[in-house]
Amino acid sequence: MRRLPHTPPRRAPRARRPLTWSGYTRRSGLLLTLSAFGLGASDTARAEGSAELGNYQTIQQATDIYVDVLDHTTETFVWTGTGSATLYAPDGSNLGSLARGSTYNPTQNGAYRLDIGSNQTNFNLTVDGATAGRVFSYTWDINASDYTSSMATNASFYALVDGGGAGRDGVVELKADGLAGFVYYIAANSIGVNGADGRSVSGSGTVVPEYRIYLNPPEVALYNPQPPTLSAEDFTAGSLDCDTVAAGEIDGEFSFNSDVSGTYHLVCDLNHDGAFDIVSDGDLHVMGTVGIGLNTVPWDGTDNNAAPVTPGVYECQITVTVGEFHYVASDIETSYEGFRLFSVDGSDGRTPLYMYWNDSAVQSSAVRMPNNAYGLETSGPDGIYSGSYATAAIPNVNARSWGRFQSTSKGNNNLLDTYTWIYEDITDIFSLRVEDPNANSDGDELLDVVETCEVGTDPTNPDTDGDGIWDDDEHLTVGTDPLDPDSDGDGLSDGDELGSVGSPTDTDHDGLIDAMDPDDDGDGVSTATELLEGDSDADGVDDYLD
């Protein structure tokens, strides 16, 4: 069922910090220029920076700027700016302070990090020998100083995304048209806001930067993502691997095999409309990361809002994507006309992608856009198609759009997630059952779902094996097998040997009740054998008890 790309102080190298949004302080900063120099070492040089971002997009001090060096024997790079920056080598070593206007001759290949000391703007970084994008950050932290359209950016950002396994990657372009925030950041990952399952979030939330965000299509990219293939999809619950779950009583587990690493979307059609909708709370939607091989996803029988799912039978399916890209817009008040997402290939071609989002948590703060329409609450289950690269962005038609270049909108102080992917595979549809956690059809002390998934007894019959002892007494109190009328296999039914539930018979006082003891009198001869002999000594007591 595979579908290919959608078409119609200075410090040592640090881990990328999670971005936790709890409100920015509006501030201005000193300006730095990283500008192009004529290096003379090669006829090929590429300058990147302010021309791509736009002149009003001040880069904040929190931004770590990286530059790729692919051949240190021939390549150099140079920068200028207000003050100096600390340079770190790809191996993490501190190379010291790089003064304004300095040319650096690298000694190893890889990504060099510039740790800037103050807010910067109007920068260009030139790499001698580059023919495509070399400049990137995991988080472009930007101060545009205003919300207005004149301070907006029409930049493109290029995410180097996971390609499904080692030695594979892809590139997704975010092509902006009127992206306007005051202070905001550009970051991307494969799952969006932590714990939000692809939904936009009102107020605070944590986004872990994962992908390199380039200002041009990256020269280092391999452009070879692998289409996924899924198999062995299933749902099981309880010790008996049933297909039934009950919130608070029996949890279950989805499982599937994947031949790629990527992102999964698990959807169950809770509203029975036949659509598997990843952007509506009418269906269950759970997402996370996928590894190569067997993957499992636990489920407790609750919906997207943590409420127990109504008992019934539901159809589910699992999608695994490669190259999934989540752009979480942090405190961006406007996207108008709107941005679009495209897959970029090694020949610099563009394939339009479908965009998905669920803004239900923030839609109440939506304002009318300049065209007097509201930005869509969701993309719908089929997504919004970005369309031809050469076509203009049209709000709500082929573009992700909201706001009106002012301080209020659904983007203000919120995290708006928009996502897409390059390849996907979808499992066959499979079913599961949700049981009422309080259901007890036969009136014993075992809930229906416990009988079905843990014990194996008939939830409509209090004495499944017909031995005269109720299932709950056998399972919970006596210890006999509620599925076997003769638990010890001695030829006598459990009911005949038990005596009473409160005081079970133990003829030989060995601590093993007769119903579980194959030699009831402890004489070394099995009860089954002695049953055949009856009362051999005619003392009025059968041999198996004598």
pLDDT digits (tens, 9 = 90+) for 268-327: 999 999 999 999 889 999 999 999 999 999 999 999 999 999 999 999 999 999 999 999
- What is the DSSP pairing of strand 244-245 with strand 430-434? parallel
Question: Virtual CA dihedral for 483, 484, 487, 492, nearest 10 degrees?
Answer: 150
Whole-number average pLDDT of the chain: 87
pLDDT higher at 158 or 79 = 158
Cα separation, 493 vs 451, in Å, equals: 22
Question: Is residue 192 predicted with pLDDT exceeding 80?
Answer: yes
Closest CA to 168 of 350, 386, 422: 422
HEC per residue, 337-401: EEEEEEEECCCCCEEECEEECECCCCHHHCCECCCCCECCCECCCCCEECCCCCCCCCECCCEEE
- Mean pLDDT value of segment 443-456: 91
Cα separation, 482 vs 221, in Å, equals: 62
For residue 143, the model assigns a pLDDT of 93
**Helical ranges in 28-173 per DSSP H:** 50-53
For residue 13, the model assigns a pLDDT of 37
User: Which tokens sit at 351?
Assistant: 């394939």
Residue 538: pLDDT band (50, 70, 90) is low
CA–CA–CA angle 132, 136, 137 (5° rounding): 170
Residue 467: pLDDT band (50, 70, 90) is confident
Cis before 337 (ω within 30):
yes
pLDDT digits (tens, 9 = 90+) for 80-115: 766 678 999 999 999 998 887 788 999 999 999 999
Cα separation, 254 vs 299, in Å, equals: 7
pLDDT digits (tens, 9 = 90+) for 46-88: 888 888 988 789 999 899 999 999 999 999 998 776 667 899 9
Would you call 137 exposed, middle or buried from its count of C-beta atoms within 10 A (0-12, 13-18, 19+)?
buried
Residue 124: pLDDT band (50, 70, 90) is confident
User: Which tokens sit at 238?
Assistant: 């309880």
Residue with tokens 């007890």: 440
Q: Are 158 and 345 in contact (CB under 8 A)?
A: no
pLDDT higher at 532 or 160 = 160
The model's pTM: 0.84
CB atoms closer than 10 angstroms to residue 370 = 15
CA–CA–CA angle 380, 385, 388 (5° rounding): 170
Question: Which sign, positive or negative, has the C-alpha torsion 440, 442, 443, 446?
Answer: negative
pLDDT higher at 471 or 299 = 299
For residue 518, the model assigns a pLDDT of 79
User: Which tokens sit at 509?
Assistant: 């006082």
Closest CA to 469 of 488, 450, 460, 482: 482
For residue 83, the model assigns a pLDDT of 67
Question: Is residue 5 predicted with pLDDT exceeding 80?
Answer: no
For residue 539, the model assigns a pLDDT of 53
Q: How far is CA 65 from CA 12, 60, 111, 215, in A?
A: 14, 11, 10, 11
For residue 46, the model assigns a pLDDT of 83
For residue 371, the model assigns a pLDDT of 98
For residue 32, the model assigns a pLDDT of 25
Q: How far is CA 539 from CA 297, 523, 534, in A?
A: 65, 16, 11
Question: Is residue 262 predicted with pLDDT exceeding 90?
Answer: yes
Question: Is residue 342 predicted with pLDDT exceeding 80?
Answer: yes
Cα separation, 88 vs 80, in Å, equals: 17
For residue 118, the model assigns a pLDDT of 80
Closest CA to 214 of 376, 367, 325: 325
DSSP H or E segment with residue 494: helix 494-498
Closest CA to 52 of 148, 125, 149: 125
- What is the DSSP pairing of strand 58-59 with strand 85-88? unpaired
pLDDT higher at 345 or 493 = 345
pLDDT digits (tens, 9 = 90+) for 480-533: 889 989 877 877 787 887 888 888 887 778 788 877 767 656 667 666 665 656
Question: Is residue 157 predicted with pLDDT exceeding 60?
Answer: yes
Q: Are 30 and 375 in contact (CB under 8 A)?
A: no
Q: Any bridge partners for residue 56, and if so which? A: none
